């Protein structure tokens, strides 16, 4: 068994054991964050049957995934990094989910591009949950306005995404995100990475984004 597959199975089992102790029976989907990794590390996961993968750079994703997706139509590719408007055209063609929408300008560009090719991307709004000056994401006081705008653009808005501030206990932020998501009536929630995915799962995350715990440390 390839190391990446073993790591994925271990993570899945750890999540199940942890949530079962809390009497939680809904398990999040795991997005294997394959950014910077070559295809030889990704193929064993595909052969194992894993379907959700994440990338944070459009050009790298296009080069890596275009041919693979032609022969593996069930694969779902998630854009989890900051998306520049000049890359939206290429992102819309390739990705199935975008987790990092945080402005009207970006939302409109996605709407325009997907209408051109008759495709519906599933959208998460990225929330700057820690109100950090240097981090992407919409601030909480602007969130409801952006939700309304996205609905007006007929985007397939399914939930919220966040990256809590580093070197803090993420539970406070995960709980706040869970409440925001519920208040907005969304069913999907994207939060949790290699360092905090169990706590994210406890707070009702439905998609967790795991890279190094599956693939190992990036060079």
**CA 127/CA 157 separation, integer angstroms:** 14
The model's pLDDT over 29-38, given as tens digits with 9 standing for 90+, comes to: 999 999 988 8
pLDDT of residue 218: 66
**CA 158/CA 124 separation, integer angstroms:** 6
- The CATH code of the domain that includes 139 is 3.20.20.10
Rounded to 10°, the helix 3-21/39-48 angle is 50
Q: Hey, what are 31's tokens?
A: 């997005």
The model's pLDDT over 116-127, given as tens digits with 9 standing for 90+, comes to: 999 999 999 999
The model's pLDDT over 206-219, given as tens digits with 9 standing for 90+, comes to: 999 999 999 987 65
The model's pLDDT over 76-102, given as tens digits with 9 standing for 90+, comes to: 999 999 999 999 999 999 999 999 999
pLDDT of 134 higher than 80? no
Range of the domain at 184: 3-215
**Considering all CA atoms of the chain, what is the largest pairwise distance in Å, rounded to the nearest integer?**
48
Cβ proximity of 100 and 82 under 8 Å? yes
Note if the pTM is more than 0.85.
yes
The total domain count for the chain is 1
């Amino acid at each position: 068994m390839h190391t990446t597959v073993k790591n994925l199975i271990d993570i899945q089992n750890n999540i199940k054991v942890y949530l079962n102790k809390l009497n939680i029976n809904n398990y999040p989907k795991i997005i294997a964050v394959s950014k910077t990794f070559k295809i030889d590390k990704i193929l064993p996961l595909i052969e194992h049957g894993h379907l959700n993968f994440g990338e944070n750079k459009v050009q790298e994703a296009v080069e890596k995934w275009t041919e693979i997706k032609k022969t593996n139509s069930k694969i779902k590719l998630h854009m989890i990094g900051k998306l520049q408007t000049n890359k939206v055209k290429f992102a819309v063609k390739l990705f199935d989910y975008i987790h990092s929408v945080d402005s009207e300008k970006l939302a409109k560009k996605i709407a325009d591009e997907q209408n051109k090719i008759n495709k519906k991307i599933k959208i998460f709004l990225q929330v700057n949950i820690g109100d950090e000056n240097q981090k992407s994401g919409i601030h909480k006081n602007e969130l409801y306005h952006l939700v309304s705008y996205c609905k007006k653009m007929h985007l397939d808005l399914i939930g919220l995404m966040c990256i809590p501030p580093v070197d803090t206990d993420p539970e406070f932020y995960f709980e706040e995100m869970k409440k925001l998501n519920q208040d907005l009536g969304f069913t999907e929630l994207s939060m949790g990475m290699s360092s905090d995915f169990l706590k994210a799962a406890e707070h009702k995350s439905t998609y967790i984004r795991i890279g190094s715990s599956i693939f190992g440390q990036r060079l």
